[in-house]
Chain A
Amino acid sequence: MTLRAAAVPAFLLLLLLLPLAGCGPWGPLGVVPGGPLCCDQVEEPVRDWSFSDAYPLIAIETRGRFFRHSVTAVCVSADGELYLMARRGGEKRWVHNLMADPRVRVEIGGRIYPVRVTRLTETLPGEPVARAFLRKYVGLEADEVRSLPEVPGEGDERIEVWTFRALWDDATDDGTDDGGAS
C-alpha cells in the first residue's frame, strides 16, 4: 500500500475517532462534547459577569493532555463574579482537565473569554451563589437559601455538586497585570 493510499483510511479513522473522543475540531453540540471553541475571543478583561445570566448554558473548553475538550455547562453570576457548577464533578473529564490545568476558555453568547478557575470547597460564598442558581435555573426564590458542603454526609442521598469560580485570565492581557494601573 502506498503512503497516499494509506493516508485515506487513516484520515477517515481520525475523523471518526476525534468526535468519539470528544475532541472534534468544533465546540460542544448540545450534550455531545467537542474540541476547541471557535468564535471571536474577547480581549478586554471582564470584571462583571452578570451579563452571563442571560444565557442558560455556556460552553467551557479545557486543556486535556493531548486535545482541547469542550462541554456545555451551567453557570451563574453572583456579585458580578462567574461561577461554574459540575454535578458529580469527580466523574467528569472536563473537571479532571481543569483541575490539572485551570486555564480554560468559556463561550458565552457566541464570544470566547479566557478565564482561570478555582475550585471552591471551604470558601464557597454559599448564599449568593445558591440564590443565583435557584433564581436562574429553578425560577424561584426563598427566604433562606444556602449551598451545602460539596461532599454529602453518610446516608445523605443528594448529588455531589462541585463549584468553581472563574476569573479573567490576566495572562492574556498583553502581559499587563490586573490592578496594576498606576
Chain B
Amino acid sequence: MKRVALWGVTLLLVLVAGGALWVRFLAGGPVGPFPGGALRGEETALPADWSFANQWQYVQVESRAGRLPYSATAWFLAYDGRIHILMNTFFGEALKQRIDRDPNVRIGLDGKLYDQVAVEVSEPAVRAALVAPLVRRLFAIEIGGTVRDAPRPEGDVPAEMWVYRLEDPA
C-alpha cells in the first residue's frame, strides 16, 4: 500500500509540475491567475485612443525584465485615452517588481499584442481621479470627495495599490 501511495503522490507531483511548466512556457500567456511566459498573438498597430478596451475586464501584461519572459493578468481601465493597469500587494507584486526594473511591456487584448511603456502614476490628483472608476468597475464600490491613503495600524494588512499608465514607446 505504501508503494501505491508513493506512486500516487509521484503522479500528482508530475502532473502539477507538468501543468506549471506548460503554463509558464507553452500556453502563450497567463492562464487565469497563473503567470505565463511570452504572449502569443497578432502584433497590432497602436491605437490613438484606448477607450475601446474597456469592454474587457483584464489585460495580459508581458515583461521581459527577467531572464525569461513573464506574463500575468492584470486589472486595467482605459482612462483619458490611455490604458492604466492596476496592481495590488496580493495580486500583482511580482509583475510590479519586473516593471520597475524594465518599464517596456507588451500587452495582450483579445489576441492582439501592443508594445507599451509603463509609467507609474503617483500624482495624488490623477490617482484619485483613476481610483474612483477603478473601484467602481472592479469592486462595485462608489467613492466620492477627497481620496487619501488609509491609516495603517501596526500589524494591519499591508495593502497597497499601484497604478501604471501605459504610453506609446518613443
Contacts and interface: CB of A to CB of B under 8 A. Distances in A.
Given A133-B141, A138-B88, A142-B148, A157 B156 contact: no
A42 interface: no
Interface stretch (A9-17, A93-101, A166-174): A9-17
Given A53-B157, A54-B155, A142 B147 contact: yes
Interface stretch (B36-44, B110-118, B130-138): B130-138
Contacts of A157: 54-55, 137
Contacts of B15: 16
Interface residues of A, number: 38
A140 interface: yes
A90 B139 CA distance: 15
Interface stretch (B4-12, B63-71, B101-109): B4-12
30 contacts: A7-B4, A12-B11, A15-B12, A16-B12, A16-B15, A31-B32, A130-B141, A133-B141, A134-B139, A134-B150, A135-B150, A136-B157, A138-B88, A138-B131, A138-B159, A138-B161, A139-B149, A139-B150, A139-B152, A139-B159, A139-B161, A140-B147, A142-B146, A144-B144, A146-B142, A147-B140, A148-B136, A148-B140, A148-B142, A150-B140
